Amino acid sequence: MFVIEQHQTALAYDHRPKHPLTASVNTPKEIIEIFDTITYSKGASILRMLKHSLDDDIFRSSLSLYLNNNKFTSVEPKHLWNSFDNVIFEASYKSGLLGDKVTIEDYMNSWTNQAGYPVIYVETINDNLVITQKRFQVDFPRVDDNTLWYIGLSYTTEKNKQFHFLQPTVWMKNTENKITIPRSENSGWVIFNLQSSGFYRVNYDTKNWDLIIAQMKNDPKEIHVLNRAQLVDDAFNLARAGELSYSVPLTLVSYLVKEDDFIPMYSVMNSMSYLVKRFRRCPTTGRQIKELVKKYAG
């Protein structure tokens, strides 16, 4: 429920960046206004992302240390991140936890001090996966933006499905917009952002989308239910942003005749509501879109 009620809600709200999680306020009115979907839903999603970057013991111990050390004082974000770094250091946690020994403060600052979020594009070139990142933008004209994030990447392949290992295995620094990952030959489709653990969207090259759609139509339960919901949500929003042809999400949702979980269906209803609103004044197309929604999402 968290993914569809909080995570996807935050992604939809933050695609037009309003303010970062860490923001300055000067008046009582600004204090009230700052407590919005960004604060609650995105904030919770970022903490969930951090939790899956660590293990449960480290996460809980860090929060406990933070609360005990600061229970009678005012705090800043750095106090929370420093608690995590202290626990990791004391536990002699494995080197390179977040890649190249970056601190939790460094990692989190790229998410809390910047509005919006990234989209990563996954492309297969020869025997490699080439991953690029950029800010996800919906509105036109596009604003030139070189903002980058520190992104933990989790992924799995058709040949070696592991949807339950959520800790990132590859990291993109907030100083690089492209990395390359070696890929096993004939590994089939690849899916990034396992169980929507990271606060970003994912786009793929045409071949990988075709492989994913074929899998969803044949046996959707080979893909984790949260990733089925994520694929629907990402595909429709990428199409809305002009990053993907609408033929991809509209073909993808045809798999729903084999879906028996409400979570992906919820994502379909949310995603297609935009199309329903856009075509409400167009009798023929509007009716077709509504019929499609009824067919696949009840």
Q: Do 133 and 8 lie in a common domain?
A: no
Q: Do 28 and 132 lie in a common domain?
A: no
Out of 12-16, 157-161, 166-170, 218-222, pick the least confident.
12-16
Q: Look at residue 89 and tell me whether its pLDDT is greater than 50.
A: yes
Q: What is the pLDDT of residue 172?
A: 94
76-85: long-range contacts, CB 8 A cutoff, minimum separation 24: 77/22, 77/108, 77/109, 77/112, 78/105, 81/105, 81/108, 81/109, 84/50, 84/54, 84/58
Q: What is the pLDDT of residue 96?
A: 47
Question: Model confidence over 232-290: pLDDT tens digits?
Answer: 999 999 999 999 999 999 999 999 999 999 999 999 888 887 777 766 666 665 566 66
Q: What is the pLDDT of residue 145?
A: 84
Q: What is the pLDDT of residue 273?
A: 77
User: Containing H/E element for 233?
Assistant: helix 225-240
DSSP state of 290: H
Instruction: Quote the CA–CA distance of 231 and 256 in Å, as a whole number.
Output: 12
Q: Residue 237 belongs to what domain range?
A: 118-297
Question: Model confidence over 132-153: pLDDT tens digits?
Answer: 999 999 987 777 788 999 999 9
Q: Look at residue 72 and tell me whether its pLDDT is greater than 50.
A: yes
Q: Look at residue 94 and tell me whether its pLDDT is greater than 60.
A: no
ω before 283 within 30° of 0 (cis)? no
Of the residues 54, 80, 112, which one is the last residue of a structural domain?
112
CATH of the domain at 7: 1.10.390.10
User: Containing H/E element for 130?
Assistant: strand 128-135
Q: Do 101 and 240 lie in a common domain?
A: no
Name the token pair of 202: 């994912």
CATH of the domain at 210: 2.60.40.1910
Name the token pair of 223: 């893909």
Of the residues 59, 80, 112, which one is the last residue of a structural domain?
112
Write the CB contacts of 33 (distance below 8 Å, at least 6 apart in sequence).
none
Q: Do 107 and 122 lie in a common domain?
A: no
Average pLDDT score over the chain: 89
CA dihedral 179, 180, 181, 187 (to 10 degrees): 130
Q: Do 105 and 178 lie in a common domain?
A: no
H-type alpha helices, 113-224: 206-218
Q: Do 24 and 103 lie in a common domain?
A: yes
The tally of domains found in the chain comes to: 2
Question: Model confidence over 177-191: pLDDT tens digits?
Answer: 999 999 887 889 999
Residue with more model confidence, 1 or 114: 114
Q: Do 130 and 264 lie in a common domain?
A: yes
Q: What is the pLDDT of residue 49?
A: 97
Q: Do 90 and 187 lie in a common domain?
A: no
Q: What is the pLDDT of residue 253?
A: 93
Q: Do 99 and 122 lie in a common domain?
A: no
Residue with more model confidence, 86 or 296: 86
200-216 average pLDDT score: 98
Of the residues 59, 82, 112, which one is the last residue of a structural domain?
112
Q: Do 223 and 123 lie in a common domain?
A: yes
Q: Do 108 and 122 lie in a common domain?
A: no
Q: Do 128 and 18 lie in a common domain?
A: no
What is the radius of gyration, based on Cα positions, of the chain?
20
CA dihedral 162, 229, 6, 171 (to 10 degrees): 40
Q: What is the pLDDT of residue 284?
A: 61
CA quadruple 253, 248, 164, 61: dihedral sign:
negative
96-122 average pLDDT score: 86
Q: What's the pTM?
A: 0.90
The pLDDT confidence band at residue 95, using thresholds 50, 70 and 90, is: very low
Question: Model confidence over 14-56: pLDDT tens digits?
Answer: 988 788 888 777 788 877 877 888 889 999 999 999 999 988 8
